[in-house]
Structure 1
Amino acid sequence: MRILHILDHGLPLHSGYAFRTRAILKAQQALGWDVASVTGPRHGDSDAGVEVVDGLTFHRTIAPAKAPTPLGEWREIRAFSKRIDAAVDAFRPDILHAHSPVLDAIAGLRVARRRGLPLVYEIRAFWEDAAVGNGTGTEGSLRYRLTKAAETRAVKQADAVAVICEGLRDDLIARGIDPAKIMVSPNGVDMTLFGTAPTRDAALAAELGLDGGDVIGFIGSFYDYEGLDDLIAAMPMLVAKRPAAQLVLVGGGPEEPALRRQAEASSAAGHIHFIGRVPHDQVERYYGLIDILAYPRKRMRLTDLVTPLKPLEAMAQERLVAASDVGGHRELIRDGETGTLFPPDDPAGIADALSAMFADRESWPRRRATARAFVEAERNWSSNVSRYDPVYRALVHPSESDKS
């Protein structure tokens, strides 16, 4: 089986998107499949037309001249389609596998129809909802509605559709998409990368003033929908209950300046530590310092529909997880077993939940083991990737599928 993946971006860039892609490609290689990828104009400049990163081949697209919406997007689609077409000549795939956003699907569909190749479209989040979550779009606006219509059209034209969670599947079914056309390929963890519990770096703990502290942490991107303002707002209440409480925030993003101002004005300012972005190979040092990873996502369409990756990575490393009670988290976390759920958009509720977790340290070994076992059994990419096999085979050999 030869699969050409069509991507917004990929390695060596570091993002949840890139790491999910790496996990899929590596797991497919382990099954003996031949894989290659094409990254779109938004990946950024590359010195080479084709790059091999971590044993994976990426064909790069040169970004066209920028232009206002929608001309800019159509230029991107045209440039991307040409590059995908050239990659098809070079790689000779059996199947095209496009990953969201929808621009990738539109570009891939142009090539698929011209070349007579089947196309799987995999949706990790709806682009229109991601724009709202990132603060670059407004729900219900003309652009939102046009993007949603393009998404629905691409799903209808694709030969098969994969989604990362039940929330996205249910939404597509409500749009009139045949349930039989949709498979769920849930977020998973590459246990070769995240399957080992990190050791505590005593020197780093001392440097940050965390010795003897009850340490809460967040490692990721600082977007509004992540609810980090609620976590910071919870700190004075948590410190009143747990004077040794410390909050460590690792990463960065558009909300960072506002969050720093909020923290500086807080009565718990001395308990809040901004680390900034750190190299990927250093992230494990910070995981090792944190007792509880907190994910206080706000309640909105994006967070109710989409499951995040970070809580699974934390569970795999035997970290405790606390998260807001939104739909995406409920697909991953069983309250009181694999993690703790607290009310969304509620700083007091966050403080109460975290305080209760620190007061119940006796349960921590059991909860850590239960969470890791869940990831290993149900969210491990080495087994999750097998879900693609019957879909690919039905598209590449439809007559054989009909016989079965």
Structure 2
Amino acid sequence: MHLGLMTPEWFEDEPGGGIGTYCRVTAAAVAALGHRVTVFAATARDGRAADAGVRPVVCDPADAFGCAQAFRDAWLDLPAADRPDVIEAADYCGVAALVAESPGAPPVTTRLHLPLELLIRRNGGGRIYRDDQRRMDLERRQVRHSAQLTSPSRWLAREAVALWDLPEPPVVIPNPVAADWLVPAPAARRDGPPRLLYFGRMEHRKGVLTLAEAVARHFAAPAELTFAGGDTRWQGRSVTDLVRDRLQDRPAGVDCRFLPAQPPAAMRAEIDRCDLVVLPSRYENFPYTCLEAMARGKPVLATAGSGFDDIVRPGRTGWLVPPDDPDALADALAACLADPERLALAGREARRDVARLVAGQVVPTLVARYRMVVKEPVG
């Protein structure tokens, strides 16, 4: 089978997140199964050299329709014999909408990550992009013309049914974990205060303001708290600045560090040096931050009611608290840090448990679903 991946994120040296990580892990696993993979990857950099199997799609990220046109043109530029048998495209901003509507296109399947329309609704209707409506229209068009929808989490599958009035729910197949992420959990540290780590975008949706409030107003134990991630804006201000403001009145024993987005090796080092990863998002799909932390033997304190429910086993591999609740978050932090041995045990269990999501086990299920929609028999 020849699989085409159409993704708005791929290159690690350009802004991105979980979509790019998912596509890189999935592409490698599909190729390891003996299938051909062509990646159509958005980039803002003209003249970027292409790696084997990767076609850079140069487009302006501020112009969603222009991006969709660029993806369609990149597909049309391929000789007919080299075009994929089936395409998987991210839902976000409908990059494959025009491909899916084109005569002679292969089956397009949509992988749900986080639809923009859902993001806007959950954020209270505030505008995110200059062309929000165009992006949401493209997402709907791509979904309408998709041969199949898959979702990493049960939560997002339910949300998609309600959002688009789907006749049946998307097939739930979790995001895969790269096998080389799995490392033994280090022994529990005995020196210094416990180290807490939040990593990901500094974004309102990620609950970083709730974490800052929990630490500043409701948390009394000594600790080192690190925020690592690129900044965004909320209500006209830098989210990082808002977090700093809320932490000004924190207890004297709590030290805070702020790091920009880190390259993969540096981020792995930050995960390894911490005792507990805190991911207080207001909602999530199936976040790679959680998977990467668990794979490196770290327990996760996260929020209930969305995709974390499919990953974290409360009391065994981590803990879940209600979102937007600084009191509950502070209480959970205090309880976790009061028992270092319990933290270490949960970290070891987290690593064992997340191994069920290793790419070699998850991706064959995805490939089998795609083979079902290919128009011609695939050898």
- Asked if the contact 1:135–1:224 (Cα under 8 Å) also holds between the matched residues in 2, the reply is no
Q: Residues of 1 paired with 2:224 and 2:122: CA distance?
A: 27
**CA deviation map 1:31-90 (0-9, x unaligned):** 0111011123xx211324x510xxx52212232697xxxxx4333322331122114648
Cα 1:357–1:322 change in 2 (3 A) is same
SS at match of 1:114: coil
Letter in 2 for 1:226: K
- 1:44 maps to 44
- 1:387 maps to 365
Letter in 1 for 2:23: T
Cα 1:391–1:361 change in 2 (3 A) is same
SS at match of 2:197: strand
Give yes or no for the alignment of 1:287 onto 2:271: yes
Deviation for aligned residue 1:387: 1.4
Q: Residues of 2 paired with 1:334 and 1:31: CA distance?
A: 30
Give yes or no for the alignment of 1:124 onto 2:103: no
Q: Residues of 2 paired with 1:357 and 1:266: CA distance?
A: 19
SS at match of 1:307: coil
Q: Residues of 2 paired with 1:155 and 1:89: CA distance?
A: 24
- 1:24 maps to 26
Cα 1:211–1:248 change in 2 (3 A) is farther
- 2:236 maps to none
- 1:353 maps to 332
Deviation for aligned residue 1:333: 1.4
Cα 1:171–1:326 change in 2 (3 A) is closer
Letter in 2 for 1:173: V
Gapped regions of structure 2 (runs ≥ 5): 233-238
Q: How high is the TM-score relative to the length of structure 1?
A: 0.81
Gapped regions of structure 1 (runs ≥ 5): 67-71, 203-209
Letter in 2 for 1:227: G
SS at match of 2:212: helix
Cα 1:90–1:6 change in 2 (3 A) is farther
SS at match of 1:179: coil
Higher helix share: 1
Residue pairs, 1:10-159, within 5 angstroms: 10-13=10-13, 15-40=17-42, 43-48=43-48, 51-52=50-51, 56-63=52-59, 72-87=63-78, 89=80, 91-110=82-101, 113-131=102-120, 137-138=126-127, 148=136, 150-159=138-147
- 1:369 maps to 348
Give yes or no for the alignment of 1:251 onto 2:229: yes
Q: Residues of 2 paired with 1:51 and 1:145: CA distance?
A: 32
- Asked if the contact 1:215–1:292 (Cα under 8 Å) also holds between the matched residues in 2, the reply is yes
- Asked if the contact 1:316–1:376 (Cα under 8 Å) also holds between the matched residues in 2, the reply is yes
Give yes or no for the alignment of 1:162 onto 2:161: no
- 1:205 maps to none
Q: Residues of 1 paired with 2:342 and 2:183: CA distance?
A: 20
The alignment's C-alpha RMSD in Å is: 3.1
Residue pairs, 1:154-193, within 5 angstroms: 154-174=142-162, 175-179=164-168, 182-192=170-180
- Asked if the contact 2:217–2:250 (Cα under 8 Å) also holds between the matched residues in 1, the reply is no
Deviation for aligned residue 1:237: 4.9
Q: Residues of 2 paired with 1:268 and 1:46: CA distance?
A: 49
Q: Residues of 2 paired with 1:271 and 1:88: CA distance?
A: 58
Deviation for aligned residue 1:353: 0.5
- Asked if the contact 2:184–2:348 (Cα under 8 Å) also holds between the matched residues in 1, the reply is no
Letter in 1 for 2:299: L
**CA deviation map 1:204-246 (0-9, x unaligned):** xxxxxx9501111111111101111111112245652x2x222
SS at match of 1:3: strand
Deviation for aligned residue 1:380: 1.4
Cα 1:220–1:133 change in 2 (3 A) is farther
SS at match of 1:229: helix
- Asked if the contact 2:97–2:139 (Cα under 8 Å) also holds between the matched residues in 1, the reply is no
- Asked if the contact 1:188–1:375 (Cα under 8 Å) also holds between the matched residues in 2, the reply is no
Q: Residues of 1 paired with 2:105 and 2:59: CA distance?
A: 26
Q: Residues of 2 paired with 1:291 and 1:21: CA distance?
A: 29
SS at match of 1:248: strand
SS at match of 1:274: strand
- 2:294 maps to 315
Letter in 1 for 2:157: R
Give yes or no for the alignment of 1:262 onto 2:246: yes
Identity of aligned residues (%): 22
**CA deviation map 1:134-185 (0-9, x unaligned):** 899459x9x86775555344223111111221122223334442337x3222
- 2:5 maps to 5
Q: Residues of 2 paired with 1:271 and 1:46: CA distance?
A: 43
Q: More displaced, 130-139 or 251-260?
A: 130-139
